[in-house]
Amino acid sequence: MTAAAAPPTASLLEVTDLRVQFRSRRRTVHAVNGVSFAIDEGETVGLVGETGCGKSATVRAIIGLLKSPGRVTAGSVRLEGTDLVGLHPRQLRQIRGASIGFVPQNPFGALNPVLRIERQFRNVIRAHGRGRRAEIRSTALDMLDAVGIADPERVLRGYAHELSGGMAQRVVIALAMVLNPRLVVADEPTTGLDLTIQRQILDLIRDLAETEGRSMLLVTHDVGVVAQYCSRVLVMYAGQVVEAGPVRRVLTEPAHPYTEALLAAVPRRGERLVGAQGTVPTLLELPPGCFYYDRCQYRSDPRCATEAPSLREVGPGHWAAVHYDKGAGST
Amino acid sequence: MSRARLVLARALPQRATEPSEGGRAGRALRALGKGALTHKGLTIGFVVILLILLAGFFAPLPHDPIQPNPESTLQSPDGEFWFGTDRFGFDVFSRVFASARLDLPIALAGTLLSIAVGIPLGLAASNKSRWSERIMRGLDMFQSFPLLVLAFAIVALTGNTLQNIIFAIALVNVPRFIRLVRSEALVLRESRFIEAATAIGASRTRVMLRHVMPNTMGIVLAQASLAAAHAIIVIAGLSFLGIGITPPDASWGVMIRVGSQNIATGQWWVSFFPGAMVFVTIVAFNMVADGVTRLIGRAED
Amino acid sequence: MRYRTGAIAKRLLFIPVAVFIVITLAFGLVNLTPGDPALVIAGDLASDEHVAEIRAELGTDKPLPQRYAAYVRELFTERSLGTSFFTKRPIWDEITQRFPDTLELVVLGLLGAVLYGSLLGTLSSYFRRRWPDTLSRTSVTITQSIPDFFMGLLLIYVIFYIIGWAPAPVGRIGLLDRPPDRVTGAVILDTLIARDWGLLKTAFHHAMLPVVTLALFYSSHFAKTSRAVLSRALNSDQVEFARACGLSELRVVGYAFREARTPVVTYIGILFAALFGGAAIVETVFAWGGLGQWAIDAMLKLDVPAIQGFILVVGLLTLLVYLLLDLIVVALDPRVSYE
Ligand SMILES: Nc1ncnc2c1ncn2[C@@H]1O[C@H](COP(=O)(O)OP(=O)(O)OP(=O)(O)O)[C@@H](O)[C@H]1O
Ligand code: SF4
Ligand SMILES: [Mg+2]
């Protein structure tokens, strides 16, 4: 598990050998186990994997908001060269919102229910500098307009509970992007929304990213979403990236048996993604060999049970952590 | 009234119930007993209460608790009078323990009475009907009233007999049991095994008595412990004000009242020891409540 | 909005019913409870004629419906709560004279309880499972297990007798001080109005111990509520998003606090109402001379009309507080709307 996945060029975000544990008195959950990847300027990267595989934990570790008792135990998260792991909380706070925007899953949970939307904009903007009320107001209006809200004036005056689900998520996106962050991290931003609205929101996020040349990390269960909105994809399993590469290649020629199973089991939109057979290891005790061993149909290689496979390049920009090579038989 | 309480109820954490399948009171209590031994706080609290109660009735006391000794008034604690004496010459040590004979049984009786009234009313109020709505409305009104003062007034007006004090305590505590049993029953009714019992044709009363009630026992027990702690405060308050138990009968409240006249001149022991005893008793009841809550998996943490 | 005004109107319509219930309760308390107050007042050795006289004076010699009608009639036509059995003064005057003192004590005590309790709850939830949490929970366990009157006595012993920081626990000002001109009837307010700074200091000094007593005892309610609500709020998506937007920790706690606002205000209202009688014991300990102490005196002397009047006034006051509380809760939280 080294930084093998990181391309040599300097990227906007470089995650190297990230490890996250939830440690309580009784047990330790190894939620993220050595994740490495990079995101370039202007690139949209998808992160897929079945439920509980550590997607959210990875995302929270990047923005430094792991919920207790979660902790980053190793690795680094470099944003434009600065390591965010172990950064002073005050500096980290400056980066959140300004350099990294975060779009969460549930917009109603995210918005403050008792503050007017305008006030929430003011708080976010003032958290990163000064600003006069009128200026902030016009910035907020522009932003709301940009996320496609028809009557920004009224929304600004109102409260969260007066919005529909799609509107609320637009407002959340506006708040996350109002300071023009270079990187936007979205953790399943459309779960719980109507199908048509899901599409609108994803289109919106993509447009906002494209026009400003922003980078995106898009967490999703939906391989279809990845195919349509991302340029590269990371496939996670049991806290590890098992395959990474250009979307088209990974989806058409998956190199990892897990990815293959994932594609075979493509769920209908909005459904939780569950692998074809068997379940994810508990993440309480990590097996010595490949984490996918129990469920793998190709586990012929003797190393599968004993030696953890590391990411290796199986094609141009295409990496997979597997001992078995479908193209050439066992390596 | 209902609005305020509703908001409060919403603000406090909701708990989900996992009813034990076809549980019975006996089995539930036995499980509690077994768990109690493994739960430190619960054991300590229970043992402390038991000790205070037993000491009240059976411990050999160094002096007669209701016979003052006029020669030795307001003596500070020493080898003869371990907790000192009050201004009438009562031995504080003997009286502190003798008080348990009145205070604890009254508190427990009052609590039992409020449970006995609260459970059936709570179960009845869990039927979805116009009447249950009305009961709850009335309860809202009643509970919004300063019940402590009402209890004081009732005892004052009806006379300070033991029955009246017990009745007043039951009155103060009964709303919490009605509320608790009702909300538990409402949750339980939705659960699958109750549905199953209804489906195989058990009568409504039978379902209530055999299935719903036993499953509320744990949480009722926890609440009862809190109610008993509150009852101790109410009795002490009544007696402290001179409305409840009166001298020469021994009661912690009475003793604190007697000592309150001397505390500003430095004779702290007359009030302190009975007060400390009240404190210990309340903490013990709270520990039991805490332990039971944890044991039945309802603790918040 | 329309729903809310509708519901509030409904609530207002309910008020007469509630008032009626409170009146009946006050009446029933004296007339339906077992036992004959006249016998208790007269004492064991009284002659039959004397008892009959007392009955006549209390009105308990007449049949129940007639008494009830008379009680209600007197209330509404003469706006009278009757006169004290012992002092013969109108109950209404007795109550209004003492009300401001109790109000002052309750307001200050609650203020202290809210501040101290919320501080504890905030520390607890922010530093969950760390030492500030342990410390604050220990404080709650202790203060909620010491009856308020005993706490008052402990404070008197330690702070008055040993350290000497507080004045003797008798009354609102020194025995030799001349009270301020009565404007509002509330001593602290009146000294403020009279600009008598020396006396104001004395008044605060005298208020210190009873206020601290109430504050400590009732702080546990606020500590527990705010801990529960804040802990949940600090773990909520809302706070996560606020942090993800780079808001400062102070702001974030402020966001969480707004969640706790409604239950805390609700508790303030409930305790405020309850304390008009509930502070009676503390008033007695410190010879505060307010409504509560007067009511306890009335209970000890079995001044039946006074007890009745007190229960009625406290009941109506509670109704009023709860109505205000509902309005405030609605005003505070845009989400609360009546269905
Ligand atoms: N607070 C916590 N305490 C203990 N374990 C946790 C905690 N939060 C998450 N985990 C564990 O960490 C692992 C990763 O969880 P994570 O939320 O990152 O999964 P996910 O991929 O985002 O799943 P989903 O698709 O359901 O959102 C899971 O096994 C989960 O059980
Ligand atoms: S390393 Fe072996 S067990 Fe793991 S996925 Fe590849 S083939 Fe299967
Ligand atoms: Mg997730």
- Give the model's pLDDT for residue A267: 56
Mean pLDDT of chain A: 86
Instruction: Please choose from A242, A277, A322 the residue to mutate so as to test ligand 2's pocket, defined by most ligand atoms within 8 A of CB.
Output: A322
Give the per-residue pLDDT at B26.
61
- The pLDDT of residue B28: 62
Contact between chains at B157 and C35 (C-beta distance less than 8 A): yes
At A47 the three-state DSSP class reads strand
Which chain B residues have a beta carbon less than 8 Å from that of C25? 145
Q: Flag whether residue A267 sits within 8 Å of chain C, measured between CB atoms.
A: no
Ligand 2 mutation target, pool A293, A295, A297, most atoms within 8 A of CB: A293
pLDDT for B37 beyond 90: no
Atom number in ligand 2 closest to CA A301 = 2
Which segment of A205-219, A297-311, C197-211 scores lowest on mean pLDDT? Answer: A297-311
Q: Considering only alpha carbons, which residue of chain B is nearest residue C129?
A: B301
Average pLDDT over chain C reads 84
**Residue-level pLDDT at B190:** 73
What CA–CA distance (Å, rounded) separates C299 from C128?
Answer: 46
Q: Is C325 on the interface with B (CB under 8 A)?
A: yes
pLDDT at A269 over 80: no
- A222 Cβ below 6 A of ligand 2: no
Q: What is the pLDDT of residues B72-103, one digit of tens each?
A: 777 888 877 778 888 888 888 889 999 999 99
Burial of A162 (0-12, 13-18, 19+ CB in 10 A): middle
Q: Name which residue sits closest to atom 7 of ligand 1, judged by CA.
A: A22
- Residue range A220-248: mean pLDDT, rounded: 92
pLDDT for C240 beyond 60: yes
Answer for the pair C113, C218: CB distance below 8 angstroms, yes or no. Answer: yes
Tell whether A180 lies on the interface with C, counting CB pairs under 8 A.
no
pLDDT of residue C339: 35
pLDDT at B34: 67
CA distance C185 to chain B (A): 24
Residues 6+ apart with CB under 8 A from A261: A275, A276, A277, A295
Q: Among C128, C241, C250, which would you mutate to test the A interface (most chain A Cβ atoms within 10 Å of its Cβ)?
A: C241
| Residue C236 C-alpha, separation from nearest chain A C-alpha, in angstroms | 7
Among A67, A123, A161, beta carbon nearest to C251: A123
> For chain A, what are the domain ranges?
10-99+181-328, 107-180
Residue range B163-175: mean pLDDT, rounded: 91
What's residue B13's pLDDT?
A: 36
Min mean pLDDT across A75-79, A230-234, B187-191 is at B187-191
- In angstroms, rounded to a whole number, what is the distance separating the alpha carbons of residues C331 and C234? 23
By alpha-carbon position, which residue is closest to atom 24 of ligand 1?
A51
Give contacts of A112 with chain C, Cβ < 8 Å. Answer: 238, 242, 255, 258
Question: Which of A85-94, A222-231, A268-277, B11-20 has the lowest average pLDDT?
Answer: B11-20
Query: Above 50 in pLDDT, residue B183?
Result: yes
Tell me the shortest Cα–Cα distance from A177 to chain C, in angstroms: 9
Task: Tell me the average pLDDT across B54-74.
Answer: 83
What is the distance in angstroms between the Cα of A107 and the nearest Cα belonging to chain C?
A: 9
Which residue ranges form the domains of chain C, and what is each CATH number? Answer: 91-296 (1.10.3720.10)
Residue B25 has pLDDT above 60, yes or no: no
* CB < 8 Å to C243, chain A: 65, 93, 96
Question: Nearest CA of chain B to the CA of C161: how many Å?
Answer: 6
Binning pLDDT at 50, 70 and 90, where does residue B279 land? very high
**Average pLDDT rounded to a whole number, residues B190-207:** 71
Q: Helix and strand tally (H, E) in chain C?
A: 14, 0
Report percent pLDDT > 90 for chain C.
26
CA-nearest residue of chain C to A96?
C246
Cross-chain residue pair A128–C243, CB shorter than 8 Å: no
Q: Are B144 and C318 in contact (CB under 8 A)?
A: yes
Calculate how far, in angstroms, residue A298's C-alpha sits from the geometric centre of ligand 2.
6
- Under a CB-based contact definition with an 8 Å cutoff, are residues A30 and A283 in contact? yes
Which member of C296, C315, C325 has the closest CB to residue B145? C315
Closest residue by Cα to residue C194 from C203, C287, C93 = C203
Q: pLDDT by residue (tens digit) across C86-126?
A: 888 888 888 998 999 999 999 999 999 999 999 999 999 98
Q: Which residue has the higher pLDDT, B192 or C89?
A: C89
- pLDDT tens sequence across B111-147: 999 999 999 888 888 877 777 777 777 787 777 777 8
Contact B296, B180 (CB under 8 A): no
pLDDT tens, residue by residue, C31-77: 777 667 777 777 777 788 888 888 787 777 777 788 888 888 888 87
User: For the domain A10-99+181-328, what is the CATH code?
Assistant: 3.40.50.300
Q: Is A237 in the pocket of ligand 2 (CB under 6 A)?
A: no
Ligand nearest to the CA of A62: 1
Q: Do C299 and B153 touch (CB under 8 A)?
A: yes
**What confidence tens digit (pLDDT) does each residue in A78-88 have?**
999 899 998 99
Instruction: Please state the rounded mean pLDDT for residues B179-188.
Output: 85
Q: Which atom of ligand 2 is nearest to the CA of A305?
A: 3
- Residue A319 sits at φ, ψ, to 5 deg, of -125, 150
pLDDT, tens digit (0-9, with 9 covering 90-100), for C135-193: 998 999 999 999 999 999 999 999 888 888 888 887 778 777 778 778 787 888 888 88
DSSP per-residue codes, B139-192: HHHHHHS-HHHHHHHHHHHH---HHHHHHHHHHHHHHHHHHHHHHHHHHHHHSH
Helix (H) or strand (E) holding C260: helix C249-278
